[in-house]
Amino acid sequence: MHHLIRFLPSERSVRVAPGTSLLEAAREAGLPVAQTCTGEGICARCGMQIVEGGEDLAAESPRETDAKARNRIEGQLRLSCLLLADRDLTVTAPYW
């Protein structure tokens, strides 16, 4: 079963296989994603805010929490390179 990932404010959306990162989904939708690392959760620039569907998402890993703190990333953002699709989600990013 594929999951629908919707991106605001662009209204673009993609259906992705379970386990696809939000970073990969955004790229598949043709949206730019800020990052300076290669998707290992180091730079924390790829933060996205979960607008819908975020209830009961897996908690941040210590790696994600540390990367966000080290790079002064807002707490409500989740790192799209580390967050894997396991349900339908609507997301936005401060740089779109």
Q: pLDDT for 71-93, tens place per residue?
A: 999 999 999 999 999 999 999 99
| Strands of the sheet with 77-79, listed across from one edge | 12-16, 3-8, 89-92, 47-52, 77-79
Query: 72 is in which domain, residue-wise?
Result: 3-92
Which pLDDT score is estimated for 81? 96
Q: Is the pTM of this model over 0.85?
A: yes
The CATH code of the domain that includes 33 is 3.10.20.30
Pick the more confident residue, 94 or 22: 22
Number of domains present in the structure of the chain = 1
d(CA 30, CA 14): 10
Residues of the chain with pLDDT > 70, as a percent, come to 100
* pLDDT at residue 77, rounded to an integer: 95
End-to-end CA separation in angstroms for the chain: 28
Q: Identify the pLDDT of residue 89.
A: 98
Return the structure tokens found at 74. 């807002």
